[in-house]
Every structure is written in structure tokens, then in C-alpha cells.
Amino acid sequence: MSDHYPFTLNPLPYKPNDLEPYIESETIILHHQVLQQRYVDNLNIALSRYPQYQDWSLKALVAYSDTFPPVLKNDIQKYAGGIFNHDIYFNSMKPGGSTPTTETLQQINQYFGSFENLKKGIKLSALSVFGSGYTWLICNGACQLQLINTANQDTPPLTIVSPLLNLDMWEHSYYLQYKTSKEQYVDNWMKVVDWNKTCDLLSCVNKRTNIQ
Ligand SMILES: [Fe+2]
């Protein structure tokens, strides 16, 4: 993706069928090439009327969306948020998933007690999303692992926290394959997660102070 307007769709970090059988290619293609592309197109349309924001990065648009004129703010939150959130979602998964390394496990054990507890916590959080939204694993303001939920295409406050991975609980993420069985979707999503995303004090601070 270009770093500013006009934005383009980031390619997937794997082929659409690489996550099968857990996430089928039909779902991935619809989700990425159709739905995320729509967010890209709509963001470009919204920004085409505001040249003063056309050199802003996606992350800056998301992080400072509260500062935009009201007529633009809603579009930025929906469309820039939709692109940002989906980039995190698609990069949270990798073919075959991963096993936490010793360093990752140390952090997981410190904040959740065990890897099993983290997975239980993610599942509980994801199933508690009402309507459309996401469950996130983030580094919070103290650079500690934490689970949070967001609604719609809202994004965690990027000037305070650093997102590590997320689970898209919008119906379009699972309905084609799993129909109403959100639980099965969440269980199978766990099998393709790249768990090795940890909090690092230096990168936590850098990520928040270098949003441009
Ligand atoms: Fe989605």
C-alpha cells in the first residue's frame, strides 16, 4: 500500500487458500479483495475532497481521526479504520499458525497465567462482541499484554496502545463457512494465528511517538 492518498490495497502475506481448511479461500477473497478494497476506495473518495490530508499516512489518519472536521471524521473512522483493522487481521494469521516461542510464552504466562488461559480469554472476548467488532491482543499503555474489544471499525487508541493481533468478529469473516457457529470459527482461527507477537518496551514507545 502507498503510505498516503491515494491508498491501494495491501497484498495478503499468503495465498488465499493457505489458511484452509480453517479459513476457506472463498471467505478470504471476499474479505480481502472485495470488502477491504471497498474501504480503500471509499477512503480515497473521502480524501479526494481534502487535499490538506492527502499526505497523511493511514496510521496517522486512524490515530488522529478525532481531530478531523465532523463531516470527514466519520468517514475516516469507518474507512481508514477498516483498512487498518483488516491489515492487522490478515497479518495475525499465517499458514499452519505458529507455536509461541519461549520469549512469547514468558509474556503470555506473566499476563494471562498460561497459553491456554490466553486462548480462553480471547474466545470469551470474541463471543461477547455484540453486533460487529473485533477482539484485540494489545500492548497497553504500560506495555503489558491485554485483551480488549472494539465495535464496528473502531481502532484501539494508537497514541496509547500498540495492537499486536486481532480477531475480526464481523459476520462477513465467518458466515460463508461457519454460518452462525461463531464458536467454531474462533476455535479454528486459533489454529492459524501467528502467536509470536510480543510487547517490547522500546518498540511500544516508538510505535506511539512516531505516528506521522
Ligand atoms: Fe472484516
- The full DSSP string for 197-209 is ----HHHHHHHHH
Task: Supply the pLDDT for residue 201.
Answer: 75
Q: 128 CA to middle of ligand 1, Å? A: 17
- At 107 the pLDDT is 93
Query: Looking at the domain that runs over 102-209, which CATH code has it been given?
Result: 3.55.40.20
Instruction: Give ranges for CATH 3.55.40.20 in the chain.
Output: 102-209
The series of mean pLDDT values per 10 residues for the chain, 212 residues long, is 89 98 98 98 97 96 94 95 98 96 94 97 97 96 95 95 96 97 98 92 72 80
- CA of 87 relative to ligand 1 center, distance in Å: 10
* 23 alpha carbon – ligand 1 mean position (Å): 13
Q: Please report the pLDDT score of residue 205 as a whole number.
A: 72
The boundaries of every CATH 1.10.287.990 domain in the chain are: 25-91
Whether the Cβ atoms of residue 98 and residue 120 lie closer than 8 Å to each other = no
Per the listing, cell 494489545 goes with: 138
Sign of the C-alpha dihedral computed for residues 57, 154, 106 and 204 taken in this order: positive
CA of 31 to the centre of ligand 1 (A): 6
CB 149 within 8 A of CB 166: no
- Contact at 8 Å (CB) between 66 and 39? no
End-to-end Cα separation, the chain, in angstroms: 16
C-alpha 108 to ligand 1 mean position (Å): 26
Q: Report the separation in Å between the CA atom of 15 and the middle of ligand 1, taken as the mean of its atom positions.
A: 17
CATH of domain 25-91: 1.10.287.990
Go through the chain and tell me how many residues it has: 212
**pTM of the model as a whole:** 0.95
CA of 207 to the centre of ligand 1 (A): 24
Buried b (16+ CB within 10 A) or exposed e, 47-83: beebeebeebbbbbbbbebeebeeebeebbbbbbbbb
Centroid of ligand 1 to alpha carbon of 35 (angstroms) = 7
Neighbours of 131 (CB within 10 A): 9
Indicate the helix (H) or strand (E) that contains 211: none
Gap from CA of 172 to ligand 1 centroid (Å): 6
How far apart are the C-alpha atoms of 115 and 196, rounded to whole Å?
12
* pLDDT given at position 211: 79
Distance from residue 154's CA to the centre of ligand 1 (Å): 12
CA of 119 to the centre of ligand 1 (A): 21
Distance CA 122, CA 141 (A): 20
The Cα 47–Cα 121 span in angstroms is: 38
